[in-house]
């Protein structure tokens, strides 16, 4: 590494971030998407994940997951919500300081979401409208805008809580990270987006209620400089452990408590075990549930 690049990389490794008081929240739900085609070789070792451009979807997933671990941001470990106030914003600062991530824009895109009637549908409509809609801002090159907005809308739908355990959880963050890898290109970009809003708890039913308010959507986009990652693959692999896109998606997604409880119930019900030769052929890399277990 040149001295300047080495300094930037070392600063990323040792950087410690402290979220401001304004960044505090009561509860957070996190989600992650991968959009495109992952051309990474399943058996690629740590160095080749960073060196070979075809493996860079996994490389980006590895770097983002490393950043989460370094800032103690563990969404998948929290069934229902994540309640550590500083962890999420510390994670954002850590992840975006990696030298190979080039910020696309002058400042974060921030939108006010006017929820005049309240409710989740109005919230989702506003998110879908604003996510790719600002004039003068580069629309996603990965997807047609309508399809992209629809996918983002549905991703955020999964983040909206249906019920709230603690009535003290009023300040919420709904977070979504999306990695894009076009089929016909090795260029990778990713978005970091989060919505801040207040959600109240129905005193009788415990259901989540989105009242009329002005919420906010913040989004930032980054281009992955693949040449940097490839050129310094040896050094990066010495510090950052390989992770696949699928591992990253699971780690960055807050588990659904109701689904976990249903899966636990199903797990202990008697089931007829299928042999590997039975049933339709599954797609490569897609887990198949067999007798309560995920078989890769």
Q: pLDDT by residue (tens digit) across 86-111?
A: 889 999 999 999 999 999 976 678 89
- Name the percent of the chain lying above pLDDT 90: 59
CB 215 within 8 A of CB 113: yes
Distance in angstroms (rounded) separating the CA atoms of residues 12 and 141? 28
pLDDT value at 217 more than 50: yes
pLDDT at 188: 96
CB 141 within 8 A of CB 113: no
CB 175 within 8 A of CB 31: yes
236: nearest Cα among 42, 9, 3, 5: 9
Distance in angstroms (rounded) separating the CA atoms of residues 191 and 43? 27
Distance in angstroms (rounded) separating the CA atoms of residues 154 and 159? 9
State the chain's mean pLDDT as an integer. Answer: 80
Per residue in 198-213, pLDDT (tens digit) is: 999 999 999 999 999 9
pTM for this one?
0.79
Find the mean pLDDT for residues 34-56. Answer: 94
127: nearest Cα among 218, 213, 221, 253: 218
């Amino acid at each position: 590494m040149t001295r300047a690049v080495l300094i930037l990389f070392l600063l990323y490794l040792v950087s410690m971030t402290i979220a401001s008081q304004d960044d505090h929240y009561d509860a957070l739900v996190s989600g992650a998407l991968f959009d495109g085609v992952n051309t990474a070789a399943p058996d690629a070792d740590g160095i080749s994940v960073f060196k070979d451009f075809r493996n860079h979807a996994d490389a980006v997933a590895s770097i983002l997951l490393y950043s989460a671990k370094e800032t103690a941001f563990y969404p998948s470990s929290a069934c229902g919500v994540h309640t550590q106030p500083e962890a999420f914003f510390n994670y954002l600062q850590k992840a975006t300081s990696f030298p190979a991530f080039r910020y696309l824009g002058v400042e974060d895109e921030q939108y006010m979401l006017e929820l005049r009637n309240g409710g989740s549908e109005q919230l989702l409509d506003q998110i879908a409208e604003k996510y790719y809609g600002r004039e003068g801002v580069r629309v996603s090159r990965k997807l047609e805008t309508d399809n992209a907005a629809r996918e983002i809308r549905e991703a955020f739908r999964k983040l909206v809580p249906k019920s709230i355990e603690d009535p003290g959880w009023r300040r919420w963050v709904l977070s979504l990270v999306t990695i894009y890898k076009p089929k016909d290109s090795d260029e990778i970009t990713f978005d970091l987006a989060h919505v801040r809003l207040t959600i109240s708890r129905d005193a009788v039913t415990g259901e989540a209620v989105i009242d009329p308010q002005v919420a906010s959507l913040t989004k930032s986009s980054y281009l992955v400089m693949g040449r940097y990652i490839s050129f310094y693959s040896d050094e990066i692999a010495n510090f950052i452990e390989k992770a696949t896109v699928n591992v990253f998606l699971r780690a960055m997604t807050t588990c659904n408590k109701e689904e976990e409880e249903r899966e636990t119930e199903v797990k202990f019900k008697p089931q007829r075990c299928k042999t590997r030769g039975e049933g339709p052929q599954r797609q490569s890399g897609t887990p198949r549930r067999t007798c309560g277990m995920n078989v890769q």
